[in-house]
Amino acid sequence: MERINSQIAFGNQDLKKELEELKIEDTQLYEQLIRAFKNLQENAFCGIQIPKRLIPNEYFNKFAPITNLWKYNLPDAWRLIYTIKNNEAIIFSVILEWMDHKEYERRFNY
């Protein structure tokens, strides 16, 4: 797949605040997320696309309109969930949330 540079955005302001809190509370997870954001900036499609039929309704309700969903595997079985949006010539990787693997399985009914 072609490498597409993107800008990082957050699905909501609360998520950005949570990231700032991680700087103090969980520096390891914070650093892993920052590394993931850099990778997404270099290539928006570096994650794994989640089939549309598996996208939880919660994402459609909370982040509408949403047409695609991607996951980026983090160390220690954490998952970063994002969507890719195109605003004319700018591609955005919109961070929706991050969660541990147990929560990921629950959310996606695995």
For 43-63, how does the pLDDT look when each residue is reduced to its tens digit (9 = 90+)?
999 999 999 999 999 999 888
Are 33 and 74 in contact, with CB atoms under 8 Å apart? Answer: yes
pTM: 0.86
CATH 3.30.2310.20 fits 7-107, yes or no: yes
**So where are the chain's domains?**
7-107
Q: What is the pLDDT of residues 93-107, one digit of tens each?
A: 999 999 999 999 999
Structure tokens at 48: 């794994």
Is pLDDT at 6 greater than 90 in this prediction? no
Are 100 and 78 in contact, with CB atoms under 8 Å apart? Answer: yes
